[in-house]
Amino acid sequence: VGVALVTGFLDPPAAPAGPTPVAAAQVVVHGTASGIGFSGATGWVTDDTAGTVRRFDPGSGRTSRPVHVGGVPVAVAAGGHRVWVADSSGNQVEEVDAATLRVAGAPVAVGQGPVSVAVGAGGVWVAALQDGTVSLVDPSTAQVEATVALPDGAVRLAVGDGAVWVTGKTDTLTRIDPKPHGVSLRWTSTTVGRGPLGVAVGPGAVWVANGQSGTVSRVDPKTLRVTGTFPVPGPGSTATPSGGPDAIAVFDGRVWVSDYGQAAVVALDARSGRPVGTAAALPGPVRQ
């Protein structure tokens, strides 16, 4: 499947919708890709079949030698000189030295079935799907500092605006206070669309991709109030319904949403929620 980068991010965010795709996709890394993360201008990609993580250059597509972390690595996040890889079969995260490309230390045990990892807000955050927990790992000690079990589970997470944001299994978005309360964490939830998956934090808003609703929710990070719900169009038309929003990112005044049902990326204007251009076709289904 590989890693495909969607280009065209430098277009003015206020560009009107048109009949042409908002961007073009180019494959830069070939191979099985289960998760992707970036630190500055460096990309990292996991391969859950081979049990590896590789560094790659988004511009040239050049990759490093694979680092064997074992298990089933499904998500990766980088911060500083460390790369953190979630192993869903081993119920752990592995730490990789970004300079030497070697596994650093012993694996860190977390919840059952970790599927999402993020760096920031004082540590490394891991969402475990099977037991619905979120764990805070202290990067200086490689130990779990605090853990919380969320009633609606933990599907994906993101860090930003002074909090950790977690999508639930049914229809919730949870805000976690990054400061531990003993060995636990305080949280507050709100209702978004059905089947929330990807979550991203942008200027003044948290964005959630609702896989079953075919929509994106915009949430005020201070009040947890949903300030907008926007339909995600499918490929070829701004009126065709989406096959299922999955991953989501915010960049340059736009909200970029992958549609796993149609193998495409859709751009929405971050201010109005309206589609920008038409969907950009991808060379294969999205897994992130």
pLDDT at 10: 35
Alpha carbon of 191 to those of 96, 128, 130, 219, 272: distances in Å? Answer: 36, 20, 21, 10, 21
Angle 48-52-56 from CA coordinates, rounded to 5°: 110
Instruction: Provide the residue count of the chain.
Output: 288
Could you give the CA distance from residue 159 to residue 154 in angstroms, rounded to a whole number? Answer: 14
Q: How far apart are CA 218 and CA 237, in angstroms?
A: 22
Helices (H), the chain: none
- CB half-sphere exposure, 261, CA atoms < 13 A: 15
Q: How far apart are CA 102 and CA 92, in angstroms?
A: 17
Cβ atoms of 278 and 235 closer than 8 Å: yes
Residue 63 has pLDDT above 90, yes or no: yes
Give 48's pLDDT tier (boundaries 50, 70, 90).
very high
Residue 70 CB-density burial (10 A; 0-12 exposed, 13-18 middle, 19+ buried): middle
pLDDT in tens, 129-167: 999 999 999 999 999 999 999 999 999 999 999 999 999
pLDDT at position 244: 85
CA neighbor of 205 nearest in space, from 215, 216, 219: 219
Alpha carbons within 13 angstroms on the beta-carbon side of residue 110 total: 38
DSSP letter at 16 equals: P
Reported as a single tens digit per residue, the pLDDT across 97-113 is 999 999 998 999 999 99
Closest alpha carbon to 157 in 167, 149, 147: 167
Place of tokens 């309360």: 181
pLDDT at 3 over 60: no
Average pLDDT, rounded, for the chain: 90
Q: What does the pLDDT average to over 47-70?
A: 94
Whether pLDDT at 9 is above 50: no
**Residues 39-48, mean pLDDT to the nearest whole number:** 93
pLDDT digit string, tens, across residues 169-210: 999 999 999 999 999 999 999 999 999 999 999 999 999 999
pLDDT at 17 over 90: no
| Predicted confidence (pLDDT) per residue in 67-85, tens digit | 999 899 999 999 878 999 9
Check pLDDT > 50 for residue 55: yes
Enter the pTM of the model: 0.90
C-alpha span between 37 and 91 (Å, rounded)? 20
Place of tokens 């191979």: 31
Can you give the pLDDT at residue 164? 98
Model confidence pLDDT, tens digit, residues 217-263: 999 999 999 999 999 986 555 555 556 899 999 999 999 999 877 88
pLDDT at 254: 96
Q: Would you place residue 284 in the very low, low, confident or very high pLDDT band (cuts 50, 70, 90)? A: confident
CB 247 within 8 A of CB 261: no
Instruction: Burial-class residue 17 by CB neighbours within 10 Å (0-12, 13-18, 19+).
Output: middle
Question: Looking at residues 42-57, what average pLDDT do you find?
Answer: 96
